[in-house]
Structure 1
């Protein structure tokens, strides 16, 4: 569950979601990722670190440059969790609807 918590936390910030949107188009240097944001390079790097800790991005060094790439595996785990919870709640809501319909008939 810790991995899910970490991933949900990482995705809770709009800047980090925007960074992921950018990286879904392909690998990028940290400076390229930072361009559209009105914040320091250090602040963007902190966001990238949160994404790294959640496993949503990977970093590789190319000389002095750091290249960041999207890593979808944690999103797959989140999707599975959401699908399981949706099935659980849909089943419960279907049973509630049936119960309420039966009561309304009486």
Structure 2
């Protein structure tokens, strides 16, 4: 699957909400419709995009279609983000050190400061 298809699928907020819901476990389409507050046709369209991007799998259970996350594309995405995560963490660690070294302006004033 191309990176463009994956990024395009993840660009939509409704599809990210569906992925977040499926992170909790497999769900039938009706439950996804109800939880996400979308119409059945809209939900089906988003699920098709996610399926074509390889982000979700579907299995038939009697008359129901049950969707689940496919972790492989997320693992590939995580690997791709690795170098950027190190860059962000380095910057955040430096910020943390600077904040730890700064005086604490939020400390309680001494008791005598409350007197008139």
Taking structure 1 as the reference length, what is the TM-score of the superposition? 0.74
Could you say what secondary structure the match of 1:58 adopts? strand
Partners of 1:70 and 1:38 lie apart in 2 by 20
Superimposed CA distance per residue, residues 6-57 of structure 1 (whole angstroms, 9 cap, x where no aligned partner)? 1111110111011011101111100000103343201100000010011110
Aligned Cα RMSD in Å? Answer: 1.9
Structure 1's unaligned 5+ residue stretches are 91-106
Structure 2's unaligned 5+ residue stretches are 88-116
Superimposed CA distance per residue, residues 63-83 of structure 1 (whole angstroms, 9 cap, x where no aligned partner)? 111000011110111121222
Taking structure 2 as the reference length, what is the TM-score of the superposition? 0.68
Following superposition of structure 1 onto structure 2, how do residues 1-106 of structure 1 map, counting pairs within 5 Å?
Answer: 3-84=2-83, 86=84
Equivalenced residues, count: 87
